[in-house]
Structures are given as structure tokens and as C-alpha cells.
Structure 1
Amino acid sequence: MKKIIVPVDFSDYSERALQTAAFFAKEQNAEIVVVHMLELSNAVINQSQSYIQEEAVFYMKLAEKRFKEFLNKPYLEGIKITPIIKHFKIFSELDVLAREEEADLIIMGSKGTSGMQEIFVGSNTEKVIRHSKTPVLVIKEEAITSSLKKAAFACDFSDDDIDPLLKAEKLFSTLKCPLELVYVRTPYVKFKSTKELNERIKLFLHKLQDSGLTEDKIHVVSEYSIEEGLRYFVTQENVDVLVVATHGKKGFTHFFEGSISEDVANHSNFPVLSFKI
């Protein structure tokens, strides 16, 4: 791991993300790129060009001042920090920035959203996960400040899981953290009998025979929903990070079908790492 991107809004949630990034950076000798996006209102944008420039300069100076205070933390000592300020709050830009910077990981703090706000607005977390080709680690209530003991990859043993799983294995191997697989069997959605599931697992393992993955690292949980099953497993097994793969659905497809990966990342209070399929 060479470079980590952390979007911040100077909140407690973004500081937890920064603390987590600092821990990983020290472990991996990596650089942190800290990004703040200016929220210019439509009223400002619709003004004259000169007025926009004046407002942008004002908010830029304010952001620079807050950056200086926000980054003055003991846990950042000895780490190369690069602060970047963006003019507009367009979260698809984070993926562009991550690729330009050749970043290995985006770490962001989130308190999540729910109800009508989630339906019509969505959370910044979901927007980043949806657009980003770079892995996104979402931090909620507590920062990661010590070595990871266990990570779990949410899997349905489809071909779509293979590439994200291999990428996750590579990342967690650098962190010296074991990665296990969890499958949630529900009574309603794509239910599989024990025989069907075992055959699917065997075929999946055959395709990954060079990875060292074995049946003893696979766990099956039965629950009424995938989200609830994953939360139960993480809690019961003391999992430090849950890993999910996402297609990054957009537009009406996302509105009507949703995304389990985004929902888990948004609603859970434990760290969730997403990889784009």
C-alpha cells in the first residue's frame, strides 16, 4: 500500500477515518492524501464569474485554515500528508482523484442515512462506493488503531466474486490479517438447498485453487435478510472488517433494486470495505 485518500469535512466521523488512515500509513509506510470538497451553493454558482471567484477564494482560505488545525494531530507525525481542496462537492471526482494519484485505498467516515433522506438523497458514502473503482473503507463509530485480527468477505460463490476476493486477499495479506468467507442463506431470495450450496462452493474453490482458500474458511449463516445475517456474523465472530463487492448500480436501476453492499456499508456500525465488481 503506497497511498491512501481520505475525504474530510472536519467532523468527528472524518477524523476517525483519518486516524484509521494514519494507522495503515504507519504500518505500510504509505502517504495520505486528505481531500476537502467545498460546498458552493447554487446561489453562488449562478452569480457572475468574478463573484464566483471571490467566493471561491474566501472558502478556499477558510478551508486552508481549518485544514491546518485539523491536520495538527500527534497521530499524524512522521506521515507524509498532502492536503487537496476541490471546488465542488461531486463525489464521483474522488474516484478520478484516486486514479490520478494511483491510490490503493479510500478511507472515509460515515454516520449513514435512513428513511426518506436515504431514498431521495442518499449518503455520501453510497455515492463514493457507487462510483469508485478504488476500494473504499467506511469507518463508523470507532477508528481502527490496532492490528486487524479477522476480516470476512461476504460471498455468494459467483464468478463476480472472484476478482474482488483476490484483490481483498492481496490487501489483507499485506496487513497480515486472515480473510474468511461468509455466505448468508435466506428463505426468500435465491434459496439453495444444502446439496446445491455445497456443489456451488466446490466449483468456486476449484476456480480459486491457486489462492489457498479452503472449506474451513467458509461460513454459512441462515437469516431472514442478507444484511441481518452479515451483521450477526460480524458480531458473533468478532470480525474487524467486513468486505463486500458491489456492481455500483446507478440511476433508476439503483433506485428500484438497491444495492446490498451499499446498504450494509451505510447502515452498519462496523468497518466495511467495498471492492467494485
Structure 2
Amino acid sequence: MKKRLILLIDFSKFSEPLVKLAHLLAKQLESKITLVHQVPSLVPSLSDLESREQLISHEKEAATSKMLELIHTVGLAEEEVSLLVTEKNLSKILNERSVMGHDDIVMLGLKGTGFLKKLLIGSTVTKIIEETNKPIIAIPSNLTSFEPSKFVVAVSYRFPVNEDSLQHMLETFKPFRVKLEFITVVTKNDNPDSSSAYLLLLEERFRDWGATYKIYHGADAFKEIKSHVHAIPNSYLVAQKGSRTLNDQLFRNFMLNDLIHDGSMPLLILPK
């Protein structure tokens, strides 16, 4: 089955740019596109079952019409895109094998600092990231093209990276000839030797992808990372579900929020 990009659409002003980017990426990856929208299910609590079903049906019909209008605006043909409108929990929907295949990738849109903080610290989208064990791409609103040159992978020896998932992501983006750089921050609670040994191991295992690594120490570590990453054109930050990068408040606030928002850097999230 051909891989697909699964776009979560909320009909905000950022939906159109997201679909345009997905169209560009789909051409590069030779993949299909599926647009997914969850209707709010604004049904009065005392409604009977028949009335409830009718109201939800009307919501779905309206959302489907808006989706069709959206893909026409972007210039996509209807046969190029599949649509899924649901009242069900998005995380459950995305975890269903009938909806997502092994090679599919979920795409989310980032709407600036405020939304990004919600994304990483607490919101409906956070639940999708936490509850959906699928590859996810979170896209800044001002990104206009897909030309990744390097994946900057945040790792820690305490949370080994999912090497199979990373390898699969690299194979997916092979047309872009992406290189790898592993980075880690050594805190006072970390073992420097264990950090170095793990990075050396990853460098060797991913040498076919031009893997390198950098270690950061001390209070200025995040500032140094930010400066370094901003100097790399078209770099993408890669984190893993369950890792320190996504779980630790300090890492989320300084590393992810600053790097992604200020640098307009997409975030790739690997499943466990």
C-alpha cells in the first residue's frame, strides 16, 4: 500500500498553507494525501439518538463541503485526496489500522509561539502526540517549501532512540539526501562517558547517512544549540515520544519552543 500523509485540518487560516506543503511533499515522496477533520459534535445533552445522529450528520456534510473547497483552492484534484470527517476521538482514529498504514505520517500545523506552547505543554494536539504512536511532522505556519538538508536528532543515553523508526524516516526522506546530526545535553545528573559512548554508537550505526554528533554542557547549552542549529540551512529537529526532549519541561520550553518557533524549524516526532 502506498504511503500517505495524514493531515489534521481545523479550517483555520493555516489549513491552506498546510495542504499546499503536503501537496509539495507528496510529490517528492510519491505518496497520497488524506485530510482528517473532527467535527465538534455540538449536540444538546437532552437530544434523542435520532436527533443526535442528524445533527452530527449535518456537521459532517458541512465539513466535507469545506474540505472540498479547500482542496480546490489549493489546486488539488479530488481524486488525489481522500477525506475523513469524524466525530470520534482523533487519537483513537489515527491508531486504527484501518485508517493508518505502517508507512503513513501524520502532519500537524504549528500556529506560532502561543499554539506551539500549547502543542508541547497541553492541548488537544498534545494528546494526539502522546496517544498516537505514529510518525508525526509538526509544521511552522511560515514554512513555504520542503527542502530538508539535515535532521538534528535530540538524544540521551537514558532514552535510546527508536533506531528502526529513525531509519524508516530517513528512507522516507531519501529523495532529499538528508544528513544526520545527533545532539545531547549533559546535565549534572548525567554520566558524560555514557553520553559519549552512546553518541559514538549512533554515529557508527548511521554512518551511511553522514552521521555526526555534538555534546553540550552547562547553563549555556540551549543557547549554544539554538545558535548552532540556526546556522544549518533547512534543518529539521527530530525528537522521540517518551524521550527527555518531549517529557522534560526544561527541554520543551527552551529547546523545542525556541528552536522550532524562532527558527521556523519543523519538528519530526518518532514513535516509541
- TM-aligned CA deviation for residue 86 of structure 1: 0.5
| 1:227–1:264 Cα contact (<8 Å) kept | yes
Instruction: Indicate whether 1:50 and 2:46 are aligned.
Output: no
Aligned counterpart, 2:141 = 141
Aligned counterpart, 1:30 = 31
Letter in 1 for 2:25: F
- TM-aligned CA deviation for residue 18 of structure 1: 1.6
Structure 1 residues 150 and 23: alpha-carbon distance in aligned structure 2, compared to 1, 3 A threshold? same
| 1:38–1:86 Cα contact (<8 Å) kept | yes
Instruction: Indicate whether 1:242 and 2:237 are aligned.
Output: yes
Instruction: Indicate whether 1:84 and 2:103 are aligned.
Output: no
Structure 1 residues 113 and 72: alpha-carbon distance in aligned structure 2, compared to 1, 3 A threshold? same
TM-score w.r.t. structure 2 length?
0.78
| 2:25–2:146 Cα contact (<8 Å) kept | no
Aligned counterpart, 1:111 = 111
Aligned counterpart, 1:122 = 122
Q: Give me the whole-angstrom Cα distance separating, in 2, the residues matched to 1:92 and 1:259.
A: 26
Aligned counterpart, 1:95 = 94
Matches within 5 A, 1:188-267: 188-190=188-190, 192=192, 197-205=195-203, 208=205, 212=208, 217-222=212-217, 224=219, 230-247=225-242, 260=251
Instruction: Indicate whether 1:180 and 2:178 are aligned.
Output: no
| 1:184–1:229 Cα contact (<8 Å) kept | no
| 2:19–2:74 Cα contact (<8 Å) kept | no
Q: Give me the whole-angstrom Cα distance separating, in 1, the residues matched to 2:44 and 2:255.
A: 36
Aligned counterpart, 1:154 = 154
Aligned counterpart, 2:20 = 19
Letter in 1 for 2:26: A
Q: Give me the whole-angstrom Cα distance separating, in 2, the residues matched to 1:99 and 1:264.
A: 35
Gaps of 5+ in 1: none
Letter in 1 for 2:182: L
- TM-aligned CA deviation for residue 62 of structure 1: 1.4
Range 257-266 or range 17-26, more displaced: 257-266
> What is the percentage of aligned positions where both structures have the same residue?
17
- TM-aligned CA deviation for residue 94 of structure 1: 4.1
Structure 1 residues 138 and 242: alpha-carbon distance in aligned structure 2, compared to 1, 3 A threshold? same
- TM-aligned CA deviation for residue 63 of structure 1: 0.9
Letter in 2 for 1:110: L
Range 155-164 or range 7-16, more displaced: 155-164
Q: Give me the whole-angstrom Cα distance separating, in 2, the residues matched to 1:14 and 1:98.
A: 25
TM-score w.r.t. structure 1 length?
0.77
Structure 1 residues 123 and 31: alpha-carbon distance in aligned structure 2, compared to 1, 3 A threshold? same
RMSD, aligned α-carbons: 3.5
Task: Give per-residue Cα distances to partners, 1:43-96, cap 9 Å, x unaligned.
Answer: 5355211221121122122112211221113453597100110013x2312422
Count of paired positions: 261
- TM-aligned CA deviation for residue 114 of structure 1: 5.8
| 1:151–1:240 Cα contact (<8 Å) kept | yes
| 1:135–1:273 Cα contact (<8 Å) kept | yes
Q: Give me the whole-angstrom Cα distance separating, in 2, the residues matched to 1:69 and 1:3.
A: 21
Letter in 1 for 2:177: K
Q: Give me the whole-angstrom Cα distance separating, in 1, the residues matched to 2:39 and 2:171.
A: 35
